[in-house]
Amino acid sequence: MKVYTFIIGSMDDFESLDALIDYVEVNSDKGFQNYSCFEFDCPADCSEELVISMGRGYAFSNDWCMDGTFSFLIKGTVGESLGTDGSQMKMHDLWELPNGGK
């Protein structure tokens, strides 16, 4: 099994996908802006498309939608993907989603 985290945020609070990524780098999953982090695990042999669909499923089941949002997926948890000082996301663990994460 592998762990992934799907992160989604409102375009009302973030002007770009990069702004959402920067915010999560600094605040992890404990910030105050309108965003959510959904951690889940799936079999190691799942395709990238299936993993993205699973992440979106968690978000959409919790009242998020594609319209008016930015989103991205990371391998592992938000805490694992942050640098040791909590300030830098390992970019190789970041999966930008098709259509700019919108």
In the chain, where the domains are located: 2-101
Residue 52 pLDDT greater than 60, yes or no? yes
**Burial group, residue 24, by CB count within 10 angstroms (0-12, 13-18, 19+):** buried
Query: Which residues, including other chains, have CB under 8 Å from residue 18's CB and lie 6 or more apart?
Result: none
- Over residues 67-87, mean pLDDT: 75
75: β partners: 4
Residue pLDDT, tens place only, 10-46: 999 999 999 999 999 889 889 999 999 999 999 999 9
- Mean pLDDT taken over the chain: 83
| E strand or H helix that includes residue 36 | strand 35-42
Of how many residues is the chain composed? Answer: 102
Does this model's pTM top 0.85? My answer is no
